[in-house]
Structure 1
Amino acid sequence: MTVALILATYAVLAAVLLPRALRRARWADRAPRLAISLWLAACASALASAALAGLTAVVPADAIGHGLARLFEVCAALLSGGSEIPVASAGFRLALLASGLIAGRAGFCVAAVLYRARRERRRHAEGLDLLGRHDGELGAVVVDYDEPLVYCLPGRRSKAVITTAALRSLPPEHVAAVLAHERAHLRGRHHLVLALAEGLARAFPRLPLFAAARDEVTRLIELRADDVAAGHHPRVHIAAALVRLATGRTPAFALGAGGENALTRVQRMLNPAAPLGRREKLAGVTAVALLVAGPAALAAIPGVSSLIAHHCHTLSL
Structure 2
Amino acid sequence: MLFASVTLAALAVLLAWPVPVLLAKAHWPTRSPGIALLLWQAIAISGGLSMIGSLVTFGLIPFGGSLLQGLAQLPQLLAEGPLPAGTGLIHIFALSSAALLAAHLVLNLIVTVTRTERQRRRHRSLVELLSTPLPDRPGAPIHIIDSPAPVAYCLPGARTVTVLSEGLVALLDPPQLEAVIAHERAHLRQQHHILLVAFQSWRSSLPWFPIATRAQVAVSLLVEILADDQSRRHTDAETLAGAIALVGSAETNALTTNATQFVESSAALASERSAVSMRVDRLVHPEPQLPLAERVLILVAAAVLLAVPLVLLLAS
Fold in common (TM above 0.5):
yes
The AA in structure 1 aligned to 2:14 is L
Instruction: Give the number of equivalent residue pairs.
Output: 290
2:60 is the alignment partner of 1:46: no
In the alignment, is residue 198 of structure 1 matched against residue 200 of structure 2?
Answer: yes
Task: Give the 3 Å change call, closer, same or farther, for CA 41–72 of structure 1 in structure 2.
Answer: closer
More displaced 10-residue stretch of structure 1: 220-229 or 197-206:
197-206
TM-score, length-normalised on structure 2? 0.82
What is the identity, as a one-letter code, of the residue corresponding to 2:237? R
Deviation at 1:99, TM superposition (A): 1.8
Q: Report how far residue 264 of structure 1 moved.
A: 2.2
> What are the Cα deviations for residues 262-315 of structure 1, in whole angstroms up to 9, with x where unaligned?
23211111111101221111111111111222111122233xxxxxxxxxxxxx
Aligned counterparts of 1:147 and 1:24: Cα–Cα separation in 2: 32
Q: Which residue pairs with 1:314 in the alignment?
A: none
Task: Give 5+ residue unaligned stretches, structure 2.
Answer: 253-271
Deviations 1:207-253 (A, max 9, x none): 23212111111111111111111123211121111122114559xxx
3-state secondary structure, aligned to 2:234: coil
Amino acid at match of 1:295: P
Distance in 2 separating the partners of 1:18 and 1:72: 31
Partner residue of 2:291? 277
1:47–1:291 Cα change, 3 Å: same
User: Alpha-carbon deviations, 1:154-178, whole Å to 9, x = none?
Assistant: 2232211112222222222221111
| Greater mean deviation of Cα atoms: 75-84 or 145-154 | 75-84
SS at match of 1:246: helix
Structure 1 portions without partners, runs of 5+? 251-258, 303-317
CA separation in 2, counterparts of 1:55 and 1:191?
Answer: 32
Cα separation, partners in 2 of 1:186 and 1:87, compared to 1, 3 Å? same
Contact 1:174 1:241 in 2 (8 A): yes
Q: 1:291 aligns with which of 282, 300, 305?
A: 305
* Cα separation, 2, equivalents of 1:134 and 1:113: 30
Deviation at 1:29, TM superposition (A): 0.4
Residues 263/112 of structure 1: CA separation in 2 closer, same or farther (3 Å cut): same
CA RMSD of aligned residues (A): 2.5
- CA drift of 1:62 comes to 4.0
- Cα distance between partner residues in 2 of 1:99 and 1:249: 43
State the alpha-carbon separation in 1 of the partners of residues 92 and 80 from structure 2: 9
Residues 64-116 of structure 1 show CA distances to partners (whole Å, capped at 9, x for unaligned) of 7xxx7x66653444433544835449766544322221122112222333233
For the residue of structure 2 that corresponds to 1:297, the secondary structure is helix
1:181 counterpart (180, 183, 196): 183
Instruction: Tell me if structure 2 keeps the 8 A contact 1:152–1:183.
Output: yes
Q: Which residue of 2 aligns with 1:96?
A: 95
How far 1:132 moved relative to its partner? Answer: 0.9
Report the residue type matching 1:277 in the other structure.
Answer: P
SS in 1 for 2:150: coil
CA distance in 1: counterparts of 2:136 and 2:95, whole angstroms = 56
Matched residues in 1 for 2:250 and 2:194: separation?
23
Question: In structure 1, what is the Cα distance between the partners aligned to 2:132 and 2:76?
Answer: 64
Matches within 5 A, 1:138-157: 138=137, 139-157=141-159
Instruction: Quickly say closer, same or farther: Cα 1:149–1:248, change in 2 above 3 A.
Output: farther
* Superposition TM-score, scaled by structure 1 size: 0.82
Q: Is 2:11 aligned against 1:10?
A: yes
Q: In the TM superposition, what whole-angstrom CA distance separates every residue of 1:175-206 from its partner, at most 9, and x where no partner exists?
A: 11110100111112212211111111121222
Kindly name which structure, 1 or 2, has the bigger radius of gyration based on alpha carbons: 1
Q: Distance in 1 between matches of 2:78 and 2:132?
A: 60
- Contact 1:242/1:263, CA 8 A, preserved across alignment: no
| Code of the aligned partner of 2:122 | R
Q: Which residue of 1 aligns with 2:132?
A: 133
| Higher RCO, 1 vs 2 (CA within 8 Å, ≥6 residues apart) | 1
Distance 1:72 1:116, change over 3 A: closer
Q: Against the structure 1 CA distance between its residues 270 and 61, is the aligned structure 2 distance closer, same or farther, given a 3 Å change threshold?
A: farther
Sequence identity (%): 29
Once structures 1 and 2 are overlaid, which stretch shifts more, 132-141 or 1-10? 132-141
Match of 1:245 in 2: 247
The SS at the match of 2:162 is strand
Q: Distance in 2 between matches of 1:144 and 1:88?
A: 66
Measured at CA, do residues 15 and 63 of structure 1 come closer, stay the same or move farther in structure 2, by a change above 3 Å?
Answer: closer
Q: Distance in 2 between matches of 1:152 and 1:248?
A: 19
1:113 corresponds to: 112
Residues 150, 251 of structure 2: 8 Å contact kept: no
